[in-house]
Structure 1
Amino acid sequence: MPVSASYRWSPFCVDGVTTVAVKTLKENAAEVEKKDLLSELEVMKSLDPHVNVVRFLGCCTDKDPIFVIIEYVNRGKLQTYLRNSRAERHYGNTHGKSNILTSGDLTSFMYQVAKGMDYLTSRGIIHRDLAARNILITDDHTCKVADFGFARDVVTSKIYERKSEGKLPIRWMATESLYDNIFSVKSDIWSFGILMWEIVTLGSTPYPGISAADVMRKVRDGYRLEKPEHCRRELYNIMYYCWSSDSNERPTFLEVVQMLDKLLHTEMDYIELERFPDHNYYNIVNLSGEKL
């Protein structure tokens, strides 16, 4: 499940039948974190069930600690799942059924996340922290957008200006978010393009070998993540489209859904995993001041 330093997740059984996940604050959580959890709760309460969005089940807010109850998604974070798949691909699987992912699986993950985000967009929700670490995955490869701690309901203005600071997901953020604190559906689209790159590289950290400060400068100056050598141009073009400097030139989530659907209906492997260059990619788990 998604975890931050101030949250605690607990899966447990209700009536011996349904396992759920409970999100609550740790005892040392700051007031701003309580505010974020309540904001996340309000966003989730406003949503109807959608197969590609983690489902809100209930809450307890009449006294501290606050509990937010959601569906339990048994495979956990997509980022971890992808990284484990890379290890399995490298070392092989000698015990039971293989879980090695295919090009079709990976393209389907992108398509499902785009479907979930298209639904959230239709409800006036900006996620603001879209990344593989905030997507959950089930045993049957259903992907669910999760972790709405930074999400905002901006149904009136369609744009949100961040006022508070904290660890930022710099490598996933659009130029206007990095430099002007402006978040919109189109900044979520930028993040989705980065998430596509994460999926293609089986959970690698974006901009490997480049510091956060250099990422910010280089992206502002027009630098973009390069096409992975095992990724076909047709798929990379969708990512690149998401990274237009002019936010108005980026696609909508509905357009991304349609583009990915078209790729899924061909016989082509757009991610040539037999050519996966494992040595080129890195899993960075901790950098000071950065959200990874």
Structure 2
Amino acid sequence: MNRVAGKVALVTGAGMGLGRAAALLLAAEGAKVVTSDIDEMAARETAGLIDQSGGESLSLRHDVSNPDDWPQVMAAVEQKFGRLDVLVNNAGIAIAKNIEDTSLQEWRRTMAVNLDGVFFGCQQGIALMKQSGGGSIINLSSIDGIIGEADLAAYCASKGGVRTLTKAVAVHCAEQRYGIRCNSIHPGYIWTPQTENYLRDLGTLDQEKAKALARHPIGFLGEPNDIAYMVLYLASDESKFVTGSEMVVDGGYLAV
């Protein structure tokens, strides 16, 4: 129950879904957790759950696509806890449109949240982690950062960028001997509000869910904790030799 005891973690998009699951599990395993989200109330709710369970938290409103938000968030983390050991760049959006139907505004918004947000996070995370001798940056990509899906053109492009940006950050930090590791996680279909909304946008929810289920050989869709446990592993010292890796958690989706 103490796999990340004494560590300070920041989880973006912690108000629901994968972000909330990761924040709660990190806290349960001993970390002090900063929950950030563009939905301030949702971030506060996650922090409240941590506090109710005897953990220690801080909640912040945070638009990851806004470069001005990041220094303020990091300053608040440093003021409250004095350090940062784990950064989970989780916040993201998905627009269910193919390349012909995606507007420039939708493209740029997807890139701003999904890719720019990770870029800002890595830069700011490195700056703070260096002060305490290292840490772990965990970037949430997707199976769609490895393959393409017709109805997720902008999303695929943004998550592919996260995949290779992660490797560039990992190599840089390793060469500089910062003690900072950087890895990406590539979930399959995890049953979250975002996934539900995406499938509903494609058509009848039950039919689209059945199609998604059929693409996962394991026979069921993932749950948020399936990803949270990979976050926990990468956040812990158990993964001290793991950097620049892409951790696929997809029920066999990419294996067929």
| TM-score normalized with structure 2 length | 0.29
Larger radius of gyration: 1
Q: Higher helix share goes to which structure?
A: 2
